[in-house]
Structure 1
Amino acid sequence: MARRVCFALDLVDDADLIAAYERAHAPGAVWPEVTAGIRAKGFLDMEIWRAADRLVMIATVAEDWPRSLTPEQAAADDRWEVAMDAFQRPLPHAAATEKWVPMARIFALDEQ
């Protein structure tokens, strides 16, 4: 059964860098091998939303997520992450090596 997961990340607070980051994520701009790797990891659907310099990723993932990548897929993923490093900064409470921080659901309307 699929489930939803959410993550948060901050961008460098610079209008030009934020605009460049958005261009890098425009339809058709993400490298095809990266989107293939995202799907291979078990992501069924993914959206990234922005408010100022804060990003929230909302994803639907397969029951067996996260799946391992092939060496080729992992290399493409690593190259993309390096390319995105110039735009991103960790959340204030994140570990030094942690970029996208998992979020905990604290409210669901259908449970009220």
Structure 2
Amino acid sequence: MSDLRRFCFSCDLKEDSQLIKEYKEYHAQGNAWPEITKSITDAGIIDLQIYISGNRMFMIMDVDPSFDPVKKSKMDAANTKVQEWEDLMWKYQQALPWAKEGEKWVGMEKIFQLGW
């Protein structure tokens, strides 16, 4: 049994083909700001992938035992470069209809796994 944990989240992009294209460019291989990828790995995130269908995104995040979502939120809030990135990404993103106030990426509930 692995010590890794997995979190899955969803978020929508604005339904605008140009904005979706730009968002994809920001996330293309080698284009994410190095301060952002460092903040991700510094938090104990081992792997993070984002998939898209239409304007709906799905994020898979594998984390090591040191990862703490509350600590990550505090680290992000104190990091001016992360805040700059998050502000920029809101140009492209929109909250899911059922998201709480100010919530961007909404946690997903696992309802199936092969071999249960």
Q: TM-score, normalised by structure 2?
A: 0.89
How far did 1:64 drift? 2.5
Of 41, 51, 54, 1:52 maps to 54
How far did 1:110 drift? 1.8
What are the residue-to-residue correspondences of 1:77-88 with 2, within 5 Å?
77-88=82-93
**Structure 2: runs of 5 or more not aligned:** none
| Correspondence for 1:41 | 43
Of 32, 35, 53, 2:34 maps to 32
Are 1:103 and 2:108 counterparts? yes
Root mean square deviation, CA, Å: 1.5
- Alpha-carbon distance in structure 1 between the residues aligned to 2:93 and 2:101: 12
Task: Encode CA deviations 1:26-80: one digit per residue, 9 max, x unaligned.
Answer: 11111001000011111100100000000000010112212443886x2221111
**Structure 1: runs of 5 or more not aligned:** none
Q: Runs in 1 of length 4+ with deviation above 2 angstroms? A: 66-72
Q: TM-score, normalised by structure 1?
A: 0.92
Percent identical across equivalent pairs?
A: 36
- Alpha-carbon distance in structure 2 between the residues aligned to 1:102 and 1:65: 16
How far did 1:24 drift? 0.5
SS of residue in 1 equivalent to 2:115: helix
Alignment: residue pair count: 110
Match of 1:36, as an amino acid?
K
- Alpha-carbon distance in structure 1 between the residues aligned to 2:22 and 2:84: 17
SS of residue in 2 equivalent to 1:34: helix
- Alpha-carbon distance in structure 2 between the residues aligned to 1:29 and 1:47: 14
SS of residue in 2 equivalent to 1:91: coil
